[in-house]
Chains A and B, each alone.
Chain A
Amino acid sequence: DAKTTQPPSMDCAEGRAANLPCNHSTISGNEYVYWYRQIHSQGPQYIIHGLKNNETNEMASLIITEDRKSSTLILPHATLRDTAVYYCIVRVAGSGYALNFGKGTSLLVTP
């Protein structure tokens, strides 16, 4: 699986958009980009994933660059409950292999 690089921490004001970057310059053509988050002491929660097209669901949007070497997770209107550690993971889909979590980005949403 390709390695990812994320900033260790970020701040965002409540109500504003939170844009979390992720670099994955060695990503392969068949690897997906996954985003998870972990709210304090809870199990990680799936947010969104994509291959090369931008994706949107009820939680967030995922923007993947055309060369697929980086991506951005967007929380359009951050709330205090979005304070969490966000993990960007790339891996091949359609297999039983596990996700490789790094240290992620600790997002603090402030009032």
Chain B
Amino acid sequence: NAGVTQTPKFQVLKTGQSMTLQCAQDMNHNSMYWYRQDPGMGLRLIYYSASEGTTDKGEVPNGYNVSRLNKREFSLRLESAAPSQTSVYFCASTRTREGWTNYGYTFGSGTRLTVV
């Protein structure tokens, strides 16, 4: 199994340019997430999708939009990139179910984005 696949792995943008980060999982997971990680910091949640057809804002959503294209794919779009969005972006997924148990989250290998 590939798990969670992110593309591209590296990207350099000029200020004001737009781009879409792609994320796909092949584990039939219901929930998907986008995080960013700045140097020396923990991960901060940007947006998440609890299930197909739903999306919600996380801790730092400004400057981003998301699309849950289908159960497998969850994309993150930067409409007008700014230097403050230079970061490593991680996509994650998990299989959720009702009840008192849950499963681990699987993360992708990250997209390293630099905005100049």
Complex: A70 Cα to B26 Cα, angstroms: 35
A45-B107, A96-B96 known; A32-B102 Cβ under 8 A:
yes
Chain A, interface residues (CB within 8 Å), range? 20 to 34
Whether a CB of chain A sits under 8 angstroms from the CB of B74 is no
Q: Is the CB of B98 within 8 A of A94?
A: yes
Complex: A14 Cα to B99 Cα, angstroms: 39
Q: Which residues of A contact B41 (CB under 8 A)?
A: 103
Whether a CB of chain A sits under 8 angstroms from the CB of B83 is no
A42-B110, A44-B90, A101-B44 known; A94-B58 Cβ under 8 A:
no
Interface centre among A36, A44, A93 (most CB of B within 10 A): A44
Whether a CB of chain A sits under 8 angstroms from the CB of B43 is yes
User: 11 additional contacts, CB 8 Å, given A44-B43, A95-B50, A96-B31?
Assistant: A43-B110, A51-B100, A93-B101, A94-B96, A94-B102, A96-B30, A98-B33, A98-B35, A99-B45, A100-B45, A101-B42
